Structures are given as structure tokens and as C-alpha cells.
Amino acid sequence: MKTSTGFSTGGATMADVKLLREVVGSKFGVKAAGGIRNAVTALALIEAGATRLGTSRGVALLADMQPGLAGSD
């Protein structure tokens, strides 16, 4: 299941991810996409039940978690 395409004005919310996780249970994955711009948000979405993240900022997110990582902003 996927929260959104990430190409609109909105994006993944904690409420969206929690609802999808409740509906599909542990049998299926939940992808959070759109608006994931920092590590805090990424980790919160994973905590809410996301098993995948759709973001164009993967390297920057990792850099947020590990200062000094090559390619960070």
C-alpha cells in the first residue's frame, strides 16, 4: 500500500501510515511517499508503520543521521 505519489501538494502523514498499517496488518508493506525531507520525519513514518520510504532525499536523510556522510547538504 502507498500513501501517495508524492507529486501533489501533500505527502505522507503519520495518520495515513498508521491507518494503512491498521488496515493491511503485517501481511503487506506500507510505503510513505511525498514530503519526507529530514531524518526526524523519516524515522517517525517508520515508527508509524512504514516499511518503505519514497523520497528523492535519501542521501540527505542518511547524512542527517550520520553527520559527515559524503553528499550531505
pTM of the model: 0.78
Higher pLDDT, 37 or 51: 51
Q: How confident is the model over 36-65, as a mean pLDDT?
A: 90
Range of the structural domain that residue 42 is part of: 14-65
Q: Are 1 and 29 in contact (CB under 8 A)?
A: yes
Q: What is the pLDDT of residues 2-36, one digit of tens each?
A: 776 556 667 888 998 999 999 999 989 999 988 88
Total domains present in the chain: 1
pLDDT for residue 63: 85
Beta strand 52-54 with 31-33: parallel, antiparallel or unpaired? parallel
The full DSSP string for 51-69 is SEEE-S-HHHHHHHHSTT-
| Any domain includes 42 | yes
pLDDT of residue 66: 80
